[in-house]
Chains A and B, each alone.
Chain A
Amino acid sequence: MLRYALRRLWQSFVTVFIVITLVFLLMRLLPVEGYFAESYDKLTPEQKEAILKSIGVLDPWYVQLRRFYSDLLHGDLGTSIVYRPKVPVREILAPKIPYSVAFGLSAIAISLVLGLGMGVWQARDKGRFWDKVWTGYIVFINAVPSAVYLLFIQLYVTQITKLPILFDRDRPISWILPIISMSLGGIAGYAMWMRRFMVDELNKDYIRLARAKGMSSTAIMIKHVLRNAFVPMAQYLPTSVLLTISGSIYIESLYSIPGMGGLLVDAIQRQDNPLVQTLVLIYSTLGILGLFLGDILMAIFDPRIKLERRGGSR
């Protein structure tokens, strides 16, 4: 088990490394005009040259890459170029992360409880009234672009319930709508997968044997179906949890929450390389960490995953 975990960890590390290297190199392919934003026309060629030199983009790419790695190893994430010039990336991110994490965690907690519960309910009542109602909900959430119903919630639900339309740090009541908005998708996702995996299990032969043993449906649900359905879920959960706490682009901008969500889009558009690199590092690390944790959880739950031997059939 430990060897398996270490091997997977090493693979994850290599993956993160490849991702950030690729992104770093791709960023260097972009034209340099973006670095000057609006002031581009007003600067003389010499001034431009000087600015580019001070940022360090005139060095050969391998020198830049080496500097990037060495800074990273020392915990230096660089300074912002365009977004907030000369401010260290760390200082830009530090106040934003707690908001994203707090909103993300609340949304995850709600999605997990309601989503998994709903999935179990649906699997139990498969084909009956409530299954159809919740399936309708899932289809709606997945089919309608989230921008549409989220905007709808912000416009109309705030009117009906008199909840604040924008986020305000000092008014706990203003947390409610963004968290609900964030949870809607999660609930639908978890319910859909949970239902699907449980129905998969329910159709398997061993359920028939369990029934023939004389176990009650409730006992079969709890002792056999739920646990077995959780194995494929376990692989998918960590990634979705980690990506949720890293912030939602749309909802954060909709309620003007000062979180991390919108930052990546902003940073890419304005070509703020150090900021983009740091955000990519964070997101890819979270994503890959999620996959890693998923695999580990799966290995813990499923005895069929052989951990000692390499190779063979999958």
Chain B
Amino acid sequence: MDAPILSARDVVVKFSLRGQILTAIRGASLDLYEGETLAIVGESGSGKSVFTKTFIGMLDANGWVDSGSIMFEGKDLAKFKTEREWLTIRGKKIAMVFQDPMTALNPLRTVGMQIQEVLELHQGLKGEQAKKRAIEILDEVGISDPAMRYSQYPHEFSGGMRQRVVIAIAIACNPRILICDEPTTALDVTIQAQILELIRRLQKRLGLTIVYITHDLGVVANVADRVAVMYAGDIIEYGTVEEIFYDPRHPYTWALLSSLPQLGRKGSPLYSIKGTPPNLFTEIKGDAYAPRNPYALKIDFVKRPPFFKVTPTHYAKTWLLDPRAPKVEPPEIIQAMRAKYRVSERDA
């Protein structure tokens, strides 16, 4: 694989909250490769959004990158301090699409103006030229009658259409990386499929690198090339979508996949992970998942596991992969999936 387009190493993000320090990201590392689609999954509060927000310097005012590096185009984004520095990246090189399109647009400005704003800001287009380009972009994201739509206000658009506009704003400057923070969560299923299809099409045409943040594993299976699993502010496993779905190695990933409703299995109660995520105000010793982990080893409570290599593309942070660890069989559901995968691999 080529050199990564963006490379985050041991990123630590802290927030100060009512006089206490909270560690939201605990040394997460991630590589992003040109043209790929990476999905970051994990439960609410696992730090998916916070982690990606550090890529464009949009942490809330009480948060900061404490240590680590985020290399992008030869610059370390983790060292960026001033707004001026971020303005060279934000919206221009790395763009973001947010969850709720109903509130993401300024209700008092026309949709056209809101797209034009980006063009004028980053591409130096002016007046008529910018307007023409804005209409083209509206057309590109699949809005019919773009010239008329240009001068309409957000409240005259439906949810799906507004998300198209938000995407239009994001791609207006041909960014290299597009971060989609739960872009379809607020939309119904048919619209969701349309939006995912639109993003896929734009990715192909513009050569975008896309990061999806989601807890919808259905979406992940649909769109992602690679998956990174986050838990308690750390990336605990990553690999290709096949590797994660059919051959997961981290007990948390097992639990996550086991809690998916299985088609055709009736009657048995849905699996749920016992316990709650750890308190981020206190320092976590060992593996953050250990207290909830039925497979936890003694060492899990003492020492934090490093990444163990499964394949050149698949890594997981669990002591179970250490050669000295006892052999552990994953839960039934995971075994069944693994078997299915092996069969299909042999057939292929």
Q: Is the CB of B118 within 8 A of A213?
A: yes
Which B-chain residue is minimally distant from A301 (CB atoms)? B108
Q: Is the CB of A304 within 8 A of B105?
A: no
Q: Is the CB of B58 within 8 A of A208?
A: yes
CB distance from B283 to the nearest CB of A (A): 28
Verify if A227 is at the interface (C-beta below 8 Å from B).
yes
Q: Is the CB of B83 within 8 A of A210?
A: no
Question: B155: which A residues are within 8 A, CB to CB?
Answer: 303-304
Verify if A209 is at the interface (C-beta below 8 Å from B).
yes
Verify if B103 is at the interface (C-beta below 8 Å from A).
yes
Verify if A206 is at the interface (C-beta below 8 Å from B).
yes
Question: B95: which A residues are within 8 A, CB to CB?
Answer: 212-213
Also in contact, A223 and B117, with CB within 8 A (given A208-B58, A211-B58, A303-B108):
yes
Q: Is the CB of B90 within 8 A of A213?
A: yes
CA distance A206 to B98 in the complex (A): 10
Q: Digit string of A296-314 for contact with B (CB within 8 Å is 1, else 0)? A: 0000011110000000000
Which B-chain residue is minimally distant from A215 (CB atoms)? B121
Verify if B270 is at the interface (C-beta below 8 Å from A).
no
CB distance from A126 to the nearest CB of B (A): 9
Q: Is the CB of B108 within 8 A of A212?
A: no
Verify if B302 is at the interface (C-beta below 8 Å from A).
no
Verify if A205 is at the interface (C-beta below 8 Å from B).
yes
Verify if B104 is at the interface (C-beta below 8 Å from A).
yes
Q: Is the CB of A216 within 8 A of B83?
A: yes
Q: Is the CB of B106 within 8 A of A212?
A: no
Q: Which of A209, A214, A217 contacts B121, CB < 8 Å?
A: A214
Interface residues on A, range: 20 to 34
Q: Is the CB of B108 within 8 A of A302?
A: yes
Q: Which of B56, B103, B121 contacts A204, CB < 8 Å?
A: B103
Q: Digit string of B118-148 for contact with A (CB within 8 Å is 1, else 0)? A: 1001100000000000000000000000000
Which B-chain residue is minimally distant from A126 (CB atoms)? B61
Also in contact, A214 and B87, with CB within 8 A (given A205-B100, A205-B103, A303-B155):
yes
Verify if A21 is at the interface (C-beta below 8 Å from B).
no
Q: Is the CB of A227 within 8 A of B108?
A: yes
Question: A196: which B residues are within 8 A, CB to CB?
Answer: none
Q: Which of B87, B98, B107 contacts A209, CB < 8 Å?
A: B98
Also in contact, A213 and B91, with CB within 8 A (given A205-B100, A303-B155, A304-B153):
yes
Q: Is the CB of A215 within 8 A of B83?
A: no
Also in contact, A209 and B166, with CB within 8 A (given A214-B90, A215-B121, A301-B108):
yes
Q: Which of B103, B107, B118 contacts A214, CB < 8 Å?
A: B118
Also in contact, A206 and B169, with CB within 8 A (given A212-B95, A212-B96):
no
Verify if A224 is at the interface (C-beta below 8 Å from B).
yes
Q: Is the CB of A206 within 8 A of B121?
A: no
Highest count of chain A CB atoms <10 Å: which of B91, B103, B104, B106: B106
Q: Digit string of A66-79 for contact with B (CB within 8 Å is 1, else 0)? A: 00000000000000
Question: B118: which A residues are within 8 A, CB to CB?
Answer: 213-214
Q: Which of B84-116 contact A (CB under 8 A)?
A: 86-87, 89-92, 95-96, 98, 100, 103-109
Q: Which of A205, A212, A228 contacts B91, CB < 8 Å?
A: A212
CA distance A277 to B240 in the complex (A): 82
Highest count of chain B CB atoms <10 Å: which of A206, A223, A227: A206
Highest count of chain B CB atoms <10 Å: which of A211, A216, A228, A302: A211
Q: Which of B49-70 contact A (CB under 8 A)?
A: 56, 58
Question: B153: which A residues are within 8 A, CB to CB?
Answer: 303-304
Q: Is the CB of A213 within 8 A of B121?
A: yes
Q: Is the CB of B105 within 8 A of A206?
A: yes
Q: Is the CB of A206 within 8 A of B90?
A: no
CA distance A304 to B152 in the complex (A): 11
Also in contact, A231 and B90, with CB within 8 A (given A208-B58, A212-B95):
no
CB distance from A198 to the nearest CB of B (A): 14
CA distance A77 to B77 in the complex (A): 74
Question: A215: which B residues are within 8 A, CB to CB?
Answer: 91, 117, 121
Q: Digit string of A208-247 for contact with B (CB within 8 Å is 1, else 0)? A: 1111111111010001100110010000000000000000
Question: A224: which B residues are within 8 A, CB to CB?
Answer: 106, 109
CA distance A241 to B83 in the complex (A): 39
Instruction: List, sorted by A's number, 5 A–B pairs whose CB atoms are closer than 8 Å.
Output: A209-B169, A211-B90, A214-B89, A216-B87, A231-B108
- Closest A-B pairs by Cβ, 3 of them: A214-B91, A205-B103, A214-B90
- Seen from chain B, the residues whose Cβ lies within 8 Å of a Cβ on chain A are 56, 58, 83, 86-87, 89-92, 95-96, 98, 100, 103-109, 117-118, 121-122, 153, 155, 166, 169-170, 173
